[in-house]
Amino acid sequence: MLNAVKNIDNGRSMLLKNIDNGKRMLHQVLPKNKRMLNALSNIDNGKKMLVPLKDQNAMLNAAENIDNVKYVKVNRALPPKHHNDFNNDQSTASSFWSPTSKSGNVFPDEDTSRFFSTSHGILQTHPDSSAFQSGFGGIDNLGSRGITVRPPRTRPLDYSERATAELRRNPSLSAPDECARACREGDQPRICYYHFTLEYYTVLGAACQVCTPNATNTVWSHCQCVLADGVERGILTANRMIPGPSIQVCEGDKVVIDVENHMEGMEVTIHWHGIWQKGSQYYDGVPFVTQCPIQQGTTFRYQWTAGNAGTHFWHAHTGLQKMDGLYGSIVVRQPPSKDPNSNLYDYDLTTHVVLISDWMHEDAAERFPGRLAVNTGQDPETVLINGKGQFRDPNTGFMTNTPFEIFTITSGRRYRFRMINSFGSVCPAQITFQGHKLTLIATDGEPVHPIDVNTIISFSGERYDFVINADQEIGAYWIQLRGLGECGIKRAQQLAILRYARGPYHPSTEPPTYDFGLPQGVVLNPLDAICNRPREDAVCISQLKNARSIDEGLLQERPDVKIFLPFRFLFYRPEEVFQPNTYNRYLVAPTGDHVISLVDEISFTFPPSPPLSQINDIPPEQFCNGDNRPADCGANCMCTHKVDIPFNAIVEVVLVDEVQQPNLSHPFHLHGYAFKVIGIGRSPDKNVKKINLKHALDLDRRGLLHREFNLPPSKDTIAVPNNGYVVFRFRADNPAKDTGSLPFWNQLIR
């Protein structure tokens, strides 16, 4: 104990000496500068805080204050609008900033109106909360402690040299950090510019000798070390980050992204998942449907308006590139007055995006079409949370020591979290926050009536927004993510940490395991699909209530168009698929079966040119649908599946699972729309063991396909339960330009 006290005193003496030396150096450099005087005052205040250290808590508070003081920038003129100087920010996850100090010392040439609160140096974007009256992020205003703090210039989410050059060339563009802002009614929209450089890269490469991000620091683009789960492998990255750059803008902003393809021998497109692309369908990012792929060595500019607020994401839509690292988040915020649930949370931090992904330890192409002996199927080795995590080798028991993701909250505050499922596999993902309930407020960007759950099960492409109330004891709590279904074979799971400010960085409890996990409590989106009655243990998607008004046409008894889409696997015998001079596509399932997927008995193939721009270049016989199949199509009918729909029609789609594979649910995504989910379930006929198209048609005729028209929730991605069905409706009001009908592409529902 005496030695420990002595060491603390020695450390304190050295710290005071260093502060004095720094102060003398500052006097020598610019003794008359007003900013200098403020900085010196801050140092003196920080020094005073060190003197009365009598216990460990005082030491921690002093250290935190010194951390905050170091961000005061001295003797630096404001840079031009778009040419911010972003120094190496090593702030901890508990650092929060306020717009001004209570002492009134504000730099006169700095516009502080846009600095509401930051964590990791990124803007917080919920300024209208009353919680701001007493300080930011729940921490008392630093000015009340006698410390004058200048808010740091926020760090961009993506800031490459090419992006800087473009911003210099075009002053009308706003940088990523300027667009990640508080959204207010009446503000002019911005043109937000991003530059993505796509290339081959490596986990644990030589970049990690230059800088190594740790658990308390956000991985910025200037630190090009990718840690993932600590297992070395080749990857694909945008701007040498996993996840890639986050696009965070306000509703109504125009978004411009230059995608530069440096991937040798690869072509690529980027899909902006959840963005409706009204008036900009050419930029939806589907290869050979809305555009030709971006060739190696070329750059393609995407331009679209952030017309629908909510939580979305972007990912490569070509090949298997998404599973190798080409994905990132999109957050489109709106003024609180437009969000029906804005009164439920105090903070909407840019750092509270929970982007989950499945992860292999080799190129995804190594697992497609699939092996027969080792690592059959396409099951991932693990899962990641914001590109981070640890991995335990099942053969050796060795655990990597890479950092977990940490989300910081402050006691007494309410935080909006945005979860995005970026899985490439069909595995469901189950996430639970230890000791905290989740108040669901939105799904796929669309608000719902708030409902409390403890666990969320999500599928590839789904997004869920929820509020966490920081009402537990100050400490650290586990976040557990488990891969279900086929991912259960390898016990794929990942952990993260929910940390209270000024609390420990690691939970005091043992980490949960796959088989002995956190209590599930009330589950959102249960896999058993029992959705025709209220339950105490679960809430189905179809039981959520829309928080916005509903188009009355969608609630009419009979839709204008009704489409039944059964889907199944066609099982090949080896002698069928491996015939000379035939090259049928196939996939090797985990069971070793060779299969191909069919929707309405059709296996989709891309046309030779994008029909959105070059429909006349495509021979008519290329197109087909369930009512118009080529005579020589065969069992594995391959063509471009297209259904024409009248403009503005009310369309009802019934998805029917004929796969009937245990533990296998199928997510479907509709581009360009948010549809209304009016039914989910399984056959009520107990004499029918397996559902198929014929049985679904019979149930519909008898009125036994369960439908719910009381404020049905809006979504763009939905999972069809195993041996079950989903019914959804939308109004076909988002056609391609200059067309009189809306082509409904099979491929666009995946």
The string of pLDDT tens digits covering residues 296-311 is 999 999 999 999 999 9
The string of pLDDT tens digits covering residues 150-189 is 333 334 444 557 777 888 889 999 999 899 999 999 999 9
Distance CA 418, CA 397 (A): 33
* Range with the poorest average pLDDT among 409-423, 431-445, 529-543, 727-741: 727-741
pLDDT band (50, 70, 90) for residue 560: very high
Contacts with 92 (C-beta within 8 Å, 6 or more apart), sequence order: 64, 67, 216, 217
pLDDT band (50, 70, 90) for residue 108: very low
The more confident residue out of 11 and 611 is 611
The mean pLDDT value for 394-418 works out to 95
Distance CA 593, CA 404 (A): 37
- Convert 306-321 to b/e letters by CB count within 10 Å (16 or more is b): bbbbbbbbbbbbbbbb
E strands along 542-649, which residues?
A: 561-572, 587-588, 594-599, 603-604, 623-624, 638-646
* Range with the poorest average pLDDT among 199-213, 522-536, 621-635, 636-650: 621-635
Answer yes or no: is pLDDT of 565 > 60. yes
Cβ proximity of 459 and 423 under 8 Å: yes
Distance CA 723, CA 657 (A): 5
pLDDT band (50, 70, 90) for residue 49: very low
The mean pLDDT value for 232-246 works out to 95
The mean pLDDT value for 362-375 works out to 90
Q: What is the mean pLDDT of the chain?
A: 81
**DSSP 3-state of 135:** strand
Answer yes or no: is pLDDT of 618 > 70. yes
Distance CA 279, CA 735 (A): 9
Answer yes or no: is pLDDT of 747 > 70. no
The string of pLDDT tens digits covering residues 137-158 is 333 333 333 333 333 333 444 4
- pLDDT at position 635: 87
Across 11-25, 267-281, 623-637, the highest mean pLDDT is recorded for: 267-281
The mean pLDDT value for 257-262 works out to 97
Closest CA to 477 of 435, 418, 415: 435
Percentage, residues of the chain above pLDDT 90: 64
